[in-house]
């Protein structure tokens, strides 16, 4: 089973939200990466470079002072103080550099940074050991005790050699850090460009997804516009419009109910128009019948009197006159039957409903018409369901309706004979009667009109038989349909609702 409309729209919105969430997540991730690089550069490399630069400057000044002392320059209280401060500051800067490296190592570092950090820590430890190792000679060289020339030169040259090595170590360490800072700056710039490019691509992809979602949502809601248009058509009186929805969601259910409503309204409109036409036809038939019946009665009475007067005429001339009078009487009788049929159609009484067995009514009708069927070479095939529920009906009216159908079938097979199939069967809410003949059938263009008053496919027919039959069936809350093909015969289906008592028992 497919998801509901609300679930599908929610899924589409969820796709858009996830797409935008993905873009935001990636953007936050890239920003975090850049911030991490910048933090690493700021907290470790830049500060460490500044500290090492200061350390290098102190080391250069101290080397110059050592070289001058080894060359024979004397010492003073101020010089000794400067040397002491330089030694303290370089130890302070070394410890500060150690702290900066330790703080940077608390971060999650790439493999290359981890190697550089380990190498820097090792060099700083070597510098610290070397500085501590040189402390005794520096104290001797710049102490209060006056040194002889050879000893001063020897201590100064050894210190110069060691301190120059330390300066070289500082310069290499500073060079490595500056190179790393430059590399990180290039990497940050490349990451920024890549982040912008990928972010733009993701935004474009998200916009495309949003456009597709909007298009899909429009397609999902398009049947609503069709429903609105169809509703306006119905409001204007056009009931032929139907809504086709291929999905299996609430809209398809709504479209199905709308189509049922449109069909019901169309059927109601058709019945209303038919009822109005029947009412007009009934009033017209009643008027014509009243206008014709009285003159016909007078003509019939005068014809009978004329026949009696003919008895006084000679035998030779009396026979032809009597034949003419009988012909007039026959036509009067036929016209009387027609006027009675018109009057019956115009004044169909309200049915007197009672619980009836439809099989018994049909059985009595078939027995009544047995001779008529036999004379026309018609064989009746009965298939009456014994478990058929009873119906609520007016027996006389229902008998008249079924009699019209049976006679129409007999007349359709009058020339060649055939088999008349009469069957009954239960339905969910009533019973169904089938009356099928093997006659010539009805033309397809005439089928929609066969229940209209005064329309007939038979020569000399009044066109009221099927109209009266449909009127009776409708008054009983039932329905009648027809299916016919030329050369294949005609089948009438009559539906009648079951008795409420029968429905309860079932």
CATH number assigned to the domain comprising residue 309 = 1.10.287
On whether both 49 and 151 belong to a single domain, the answer is: yes
Same-domain check for residues 372 and 335: no
Please give the pLDDT value at position 434.
92
Mean pLDDT of 302-331: 67
Q: What is the DSSP string of 252-288?
A: HHHHHHHHHHHHHHHHHHHHHHHHHHHHHHHHHHHHH
Check which CATH number belongs to the domain holding 459 and give it. 3.30.565.10
Residues 362 and 325 in one domain: no
Phi, psi of 492 (to 5 degrees): -105, 135
Contacts of 421 (CB under 8 A, 6+ apart): 381, 383, 434, 435, 436, 437
Q: Are residues 135 and 50 in the same domain?
A: yes
36, 87, 242, 387 from 171: Cα distances, Å: 27, 18, 89, 113
Res. 473: pLDDT tops 80 = yes
Q: Kindly state the percentage of the chain with pLDDT values over 70.
A: 71
Based on the fold, state whether residues 194 and 48 are members of the same structural domain. yes
297 plus 399 within the same structural domain = no
pLDDT tens readout for residues 395-417: 888 888 898 888 888 888 888 88
Of 154-168, 338-352, 443-457, give the lowest mean pLDDT range.
338-352
Give the domain extent around 336: 249-347
How far is the C-alpha of 242 from the C-alpha of 258, rounded, in Å? 8
Residue for token digits 């501590």?
Answer: 132
| Domain closes at, from 323, 347, 371 | 347
Which of 214, 238, 259 terminates a domain? The answer is 214
Is residue 232 a part of any domain in this protein?
no
Q: CA-to-CA distance for 127 and 91, rounded, in angstroms?
A: 9
In the prediction, which pLDDT does 194 show? Answer: 74
* CA–CA dist 500, 209 (Å, integer): 59
Which residues, listed in sequence order, are joined to residue 494 by a DSSP beta bridge? 433, 480
Indicate the pLDDT class of residue 319, thresholds 50, 70 and 90.
Answer: low
pLDDT band at 94 (very low <50, low <70, confident <90, very high): confident
171: helix, strand or coil: helix
In order, the DSSP letters of 437-475 are: --S----TTTGGGTTSTT--SSTT--S-HHHHHHHHHHH
What percent of the chain is modeled with pLDDT above 90?
Answer: 3
Angle among Cα 178, 184, 190 to the nearest 5 degrees reads 145
Asked, for residue 234, whether it belongs to a domain, the answer is no
Q: How far apart are CA 60 and CA 66, in angstroms?
A: 10
**Is residue 224 situated within a structural domain?**
no
Residues 302, 420, single domain; the answer is: no
| pLDDT of 143 above 70 | yes
Please check whether residues 277 and 377 belong to one and the same domain: no
Helices (H), 41-148: 47-70, 77-105, 111-141
In a domain, 228, yes or no: no
Query: What is the 3-state composition of the chain as percent helix, strand, coil, each rounded to the nearest 5?
Result: 70, 10, 20
Q: State the CATH number of the domain containing residue 107.
A: 1.20.1420
Q: Which residues contact 330 (CB under 8 A, 6 or more apart)?
A: none
- 253 within domain boundaries: yes
Residues 371 and 319 in one domain: no
Q: Are 72 and 152 in contact (CB under 8 A)?
A: yes
Residues whose CB falls within 8 Å of the CB of residue 109, separated by 6 or more in sequence, listed in order: 40, 117
Please say if the pLDDT value at position 279 is more than 80. Answer: no
| Both structure tokens of 27 | 């953007």
Q: Which domain-ending residue is among 162, 195, 214?
A: 214
The predicted structure's pLDDT at residue 2: 54
Pair of tokens at residue 363: 């059985």
Q: Mark whether 479 and 374 lie in a shared domain.
A: yes
Please state, as a whole number, how many other Cβ atoms lie within 10 Å of the Cβ of residue 429: 11
Q: How confident is the model at residue 1 (pLDDT cuts 50, 70, 90)?
A: very low
Residue 243 falls inside a structural domain: no
Does residue 153 carry a pLDDT above 50? Answer: yes
Q: Is 169 helix (H, G, I), strand (E, B) or coil?
A: helix
| Three-state secondary structure call for residue 382 | strand
Which whole number is the average pLDDT over 49-68? 86
pLDDT confidence tier of residue 505, bands split at 50, 70 and 90: very low
Q: Are residues 42 and 169 in the same domain?
A: yes
Q: State yes or no: pLDDT of 346 exceeds 60.
A: no
- Tell me, yes or no, whether 225 lies in a domain: no
| Mean pLDDT over the full length of the chain | 77
Kindly state whether residues 150 and 290 are assigned to the same domain.
no
Confidence at 335, pLDDT banded by 50, 70, 90: low
| pLDDT at site 423 | 92
Establish if 109 belongs to a structural domain. yes
Q: Name the more confident of 315 and 433.
A: 433
Domain count of the fold of the chain: 3
pLDDT band, very low/low/confident/very high, at 503 (cuts 50, 70, 90) = very low
């Amino acid at each position: 089973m497919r998801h509901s409309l609300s679930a599908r729209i929610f899924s589409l919105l969820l796709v858009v939200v996830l797409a935008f969430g993905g873009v935001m997540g990636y953007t936050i991730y890239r920003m975090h990466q850049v911030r991490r690089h910048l933090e690493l550069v700021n907290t470790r490399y830049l500060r460490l470079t500044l500290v090492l630069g200061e350390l290098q400057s102190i080391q250069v000044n101290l080397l110059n002072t050592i070289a001058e002392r080894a060359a024979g320059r004397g010492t003073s209280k101020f010089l000794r103080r400067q040397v002491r401060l330089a030694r303290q500051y370089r130890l302070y800067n070394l410890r500060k550099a150690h702290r900066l490296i330790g703080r940077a190592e608390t971060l999650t570092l790439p493999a290359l940074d981890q190697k550089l950090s380990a190498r820097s820590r090792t060099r700083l430890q070597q510098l610290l050991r070397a500085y501590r190792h040189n402390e005794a000679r520096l104290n001797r060289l710049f102490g209060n005790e006056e040194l002889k020339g050879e000893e001063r030169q020897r201590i100064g040259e050894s210190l110069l050699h060691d301190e120059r090595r330390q300066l070289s170590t500082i310069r290499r360490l500073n060079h490595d850090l500056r190179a790393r800072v430059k590399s990180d700056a290039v990497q940050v710039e490349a990451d920024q460009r890549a982040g912008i490019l990928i972010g733009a691509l993701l935004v474009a992809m998200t916009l495309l997804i949003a456009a597709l979602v909007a298009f899909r949502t429009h397609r999902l809601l398009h049947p609503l516009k069709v429903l609105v248009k169809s509703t306006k058509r119905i409001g204007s009186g056009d009931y032929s419009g139907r809504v086709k929805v291929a999905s299996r969601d609430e809209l398809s259910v709504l479209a199905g109910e709308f189509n049922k409503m449109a069909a019901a309204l169309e059927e109601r409109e058709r019945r209303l128009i038919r009822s109005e036409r029947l009412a007009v036809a009934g009033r017209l038939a009643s008027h014509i019948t009243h206008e014709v019946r009285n003159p016909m009665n007078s003509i019939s009475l005068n014809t009978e009197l004329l026949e009696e007067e003919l008895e006084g005429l000679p035998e030779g001339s009396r026979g032809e006159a009597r034949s003419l009078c009988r012909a007039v009487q026959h036509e009067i009788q036929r016209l009387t039957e027609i006027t009675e049929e018109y009057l019956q159609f115009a004044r169909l009484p309200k049915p007197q409903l009672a619980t009836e067995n439809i099989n018994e009514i049909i059985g009595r009708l078939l027995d009544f018409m047995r001779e008529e069927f036999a004379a026309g070479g018609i064989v009746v095939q009965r298939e009456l369901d014994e478990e058929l529920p009873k119906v609520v009906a007016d027996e006389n009216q229902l008998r008249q309706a079924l009699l019209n159908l049976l006679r129409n079938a007999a007349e359709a097979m009058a020339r060649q004979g055939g088999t008349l199939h009469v069957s009954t069967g239960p339905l969910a809410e009533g019973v169904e009667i089938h009356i099928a003949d093997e006659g010539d059938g009805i033309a397809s263009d005439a089928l929609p009109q066969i229940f209209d008053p005064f329309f007939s496919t038979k020569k000399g027919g009044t066109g009221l038989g099927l109209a009266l039959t449909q009127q009776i069936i409708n008054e009983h809350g039932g329905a009648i349909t027809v299916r016919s093909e030329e050369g294949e015969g005609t089948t009438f289906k009559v539906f009648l609702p079951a008795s409420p008592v029968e429905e309860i028992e079932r």
